[in-house]
Structure 1
Amino acid sequence: MPNRNCIPSLFVLLGLWGVAQPASAQALIPHTLQLDPAKVERQGLSLAQEAAQLAQFQQYELALPRAKLATQLSPRTPEVWSLLGGLYLQTNEVDKGIEALQQALKLDPKNAAVLFGLGSAYFQKGQYKTAIDNLESGLKIKPNVPGALFDLGNAFLMLRQYSDAIAQYEKAVAQDKDFWPAINNIGLIRYEQGNADEAIKHWRRASAIDKKAAEPQLANAVALYARGDREQGLTLGEAAIKIDSRYGDLKFLKDNLWGERLLADTKKFLETPQMKATIAQAQERPPRTQASPQ
C-alpha cells in the first residue's frame, strides 16, 4: 500500500498550494483552469512519440497507457489513433485495435497504413473477406507494398482462392526479391495442390535467401521424406528444429497456414524417433529466430 503522505494533494497538482483552505462553512469560489489547446496537443504528440519508441523495443505494456492518454490530449490526430490501434493488436486486444483504427480512418480516410492495419486485424479475427476489402482499399491508395500484398495473399489462401493468393505473393516478390515468406507460401499452396516438386523448388529458393529460416527447411524436409528421400529429409528436419523448436508443434504450423496435406505428412515425420529426440533436445533451448510473418 502506498504511503499516503507521499501522495500530492489536488491543490499541489493544480499549483494552488499557496491558496488558503476554506473553512467548512465557507463557499469555495469557482475556479476554472485555462488550458492552452496547442500546448495540450503538443503534450499528446510527445506522449505518442514516447509510446512509439517503447513499441520499437516491444515494451507494449508501457507504451499502451501513453498512447491512450495521447488520444485524449490529441484526439484529432489520426496517427495517434493508428498508433493506439497497432499497440492493441500487438497485445491481442483485436476489437479495441479495430475501434482505434476505425477512428483513425474517420480522421484520415485515405491513409493506406490504417487500412493495412485493419486488414491485419480482421485477418486475426478470421474475417477474411473484410480483411481483403481493407487491404485492397489500401493498395489502391498505396500499391506495391510487399507486406500488404503478402497479407492479402494470406487472406486469399485462407479462403482457398489459391490462384489469387499466388498472384499476390508473386507481386510481393516482384517488389522485394528477398521476401522469402511469400515464396515459402507459394510452396505451401503447391503442396496442397499435389505438386510436391514445385513446392520443394520454392522452399529451396526461400532457404537460399535466408539460411536461418526454419519454416522452408522443415517443409522441404517433410516433402523429401514423404517421397522417399528419408535420409536427406531427416537431416534437413533436424537442422530446422534446431533453429526454432516451435516448428515441431503442429498447432504452430497450422497457425502459420500449413495446409491439411502438409500437416498430415508432417505429423508422420515428427513422430519418427529421430525427430522426437531432436525436438526434445531443442525445446530445452530458446529459439534463435522468429517465426515468419504470416
Structure 2
Amino acid sequence: MPNRTLILTVVVTLSLWNVAQSAMGQALVPYTPPLDSEQLEQTGLGLLEEAAQLTRFQQYQLALPRAELATQLAPENYQAWALLGSLYLQLEDLDKGIELLEKASNLAPKEAGVQFILGEAYFKKGNYQKSIQFLEAGLKTDPNVPGALFDLGNAYYKLGRFEQAILQYEKAFAQEKNLWPAINNVGLVKYEQGEIDTAIAKWRQAITIDPKAAEPILALAVALYTKGQTKEALSLGTMALSLDSRYADFEYLKENLWGDRLLNDTKKFLATPQIQETLVKVKDAQPASP
C-alpha cells in the first residue's frame, strides 16, 4: 500500500531529524511534512491491516500498538475500534475490550460482527443477559452465522433456559453440519435434564462428525459408566484423556459448560483405577516444562 510506505518514510525521517536535534541543540529545527486528514486516515487503515495480520498469527502484543495508532489516525473507522477491543479481550482485559467495542458499535450500530463480539465479551464477563441482548441484535441483521447461534445457545444454557439453548444449538448445526460442539452441547443439556439416553445419542453423533473430539468421547464414557457399561466406558475414557488430558481438570470442564450432574458422575469415573493409571501415563508422556 503506497500510503503505508509513505508514512513509514515520514516516521523514519522525523526520527532521524529528532536524533539530529538532540545532538545539535537548537541549531536546527526539523521540518515536518504537512499531512492531510485523508492521508492520515489511509495510514491508519494500513496500520489496521498490519494489526489484523498479526492478530491472525496470535501476535497480540505486537498488534496492539498498531491498532491503538490506527484508532487515533482513523477515529471514525469502526473496524479499528473493533479490532482494538478484540485484542484487549484476547489479553483478558474484558472491561477495556468492552468499552472499545461499544465505541465501535456506536459508530456502526447495524454491524452484526461487532454485536457478536460484544456478545462474546459479555459472556466471558458472566453477564449472560447482556450477551443474549447483543447476540440477538446481531442475528437480526445477519441470521446465518452458526457461531453466533452457538454462542447464544451457550448464554441461554448458563441462564438455565434449556429449551431455548437447544433451539439455538439446533439452528447452528442446521447451518453448519460439521459443528459438532452444537450437538455435543445438546447432550450436555439433556444430561442435566436427566435424559441420559438422549445425551448418549447426541454424543455418539458428535463423535461421528469428529472421531478425535475428546469432549464428547469423555462425556459418552461417563454416561456409559453411570449406566453400568463399564468396559466400553473405560475404553472411551482412556481414548479421550489420551487425546486431551485437560478434560481431567474440573475447572476446564466447567469452562466447557459441563453441568453439576455430569461433573459429579465424572468425578466418580475419573477416580477409577484404570483412568487414574491413564492420567499418570499421559502426565509422564508430556514434555517437561522449560
One fold, TM greater than 0.5? Answer: yes
Question: Cα distance 1:13–1:108, how it changes in 2: closer, same or farther (>3 A)?
Answer: farther
The structure, 1 or 2, with the larger RCO (C-alpha pairs under 8 Å, 6+ apart) is 1
1:12 equivalenced with 2:16 (yes/no): yes
**1:12 aligned partner, one-letter code:** L
Q: Which range moves more in the overlay, 66-75 or 161-170?
A: 66-75
What whole-Å deviation, never above 9, does each CA across 1:58-99 have from its counterpart, x for those lacking one? 111111121111111111111111111111111111111101
Aligned to 2:100: 100
1:12 Cα deviation (Å)?
3.0
Give the number of equivalent residue pairs. 276
What whole-Å deviation, never above 9, does each CA across 1:111-142 have from its counterpart, x for those lacking one? 00000000000000100000000000000011
Q: In structure 1, how many angstroms separate the alpha carbons of the residues matched to 2:235 and 2:30?
A: 79
Q: In structure 2, how many angstroms separate the alpha carbons of the residues matched to 1:89 and 1:275?
A: 36
Aligned to 1:275: 275
Aligned to 1:70: 70
Question: Cα distance 1:89–1:194, how it changes in 2: closer, same or farther (>3 A)?
Answer: same
Aligned to 1:248: 248
1:280 Cα deviation (Å)?
2.1
Structure 2 length normalisation: TM-score? Answer: 0.89
Aligned to 1:186: 186
Question: Cα distance 1:43–1:223, how it changes in 2: closer, same or farther (>3 A)?
Answer: same
Q: In structure 2, how many angstroms separate the alpha carbons of the residues matched to 1:52 and 1:286?
A: 33
Q: In structure 1, how many angstroms separate the alpha carbons of the residues matched to 2:13 and 2:30?
A: 18
Aligned to 1:44: 44
Aligned to 1:84: 84
Aligned to 1:139: 139
**2:108 aligned partner, one-letter code:** D
Question: Cα distance 1:73–1:15, how it changes in 2: closer, same or farther (>3 A)?
Answer: farther
Aligned to 1:197: 197
Percentage identity across paired residues of the two chains: 56
**2:92 aligned partner, one-letter code:** N
Aligned to 1:265: 265
Q: In structure 2, how many angstroms separate the alpha carbons of the residues matched to 1:21 and 1:11?
A: 15
Question: Contact conserved, 1:119 with 1:134, CA < 8 A, in 2?
Answer: yes
Q: Secondary structure in 2 aligned to 1:228?
A: coil
What whole-Å deviation, never above 9, does each CA across 1:122-169 have from its counterpart, x for those lacking one? 000100000000000000011121000000000000000000000000
Q: In structure 2, how many angstroms separate the alpha carbons of the residues matched to 1:39 and 1:14?
A: 22
Question: What is the aligned-residue RMSD (CA, Å)?
Answer: 2.5
5+ residue gaps, structure 1: 1-7, 288-294
Question: Contact conserved, 1:212 with 1:243, CA < 8 A, in 2?
Answer: yes
Question: Cα distance 1:65–1:280, how it changes in 2: closer, same or farther (>3 A)?
Answer: farther
What whole-Å deviation, never above 9, does each CA across 1:204-236 have from its counterpart, x for those lacking one? 000110111100000000000011001100000
More helix by share: 2
1:283 Cα deviation (Å)?
3.0
What whole-Å deviation, never above 9, does each CA across 1:6-55 have from its counterpart, x for those lacking one? xx9977346976xx8547xxxx9998763222221122111111111111
Structure 1 length normalisation: TM-score? Answer: 0.88
Aligned to 1:5: none
Q: In structure 1, how many angstroms separate the alpha carbons of the residues matched to 2:139 and 2:17?
A: 48
5+ residue gaps, structure 2: 1-11
Q: Secondary structure in 2 aligned to 1:283?
A: helix
Q: In structure 1, how many angstroms separate the alpha carbons of the residues matched to 2:77 and 2:68?
A: 13
Q: Secondary structure in 2 aligned to 1:160?
A: coil
**1:178 aligned partner, one-letter code:** N
Question: Contact conserved, 2:246 with 2:252, CA < 8 A, in 1?
Answer: yes
Question: Cα distance 1:266–1:9, how it changes in 2: closer, same or farther (>3 A)?
Answer: same
Q: In structure 1, how many angstroms separate the alpha carbons of the residues matched to 2:175 and 2:15?
A: 59
Q: In structure 1, how many angstroms separate the alpha carbons of the residues matched to 2:18 and 2:30?
A: 14
1:240 Cα deviation (Å)?
0.4
Question: Contact conserved, 1:144 with 1:171, CA < 8 A, in 2?
Answer: no
Aligned to 1:212: 212
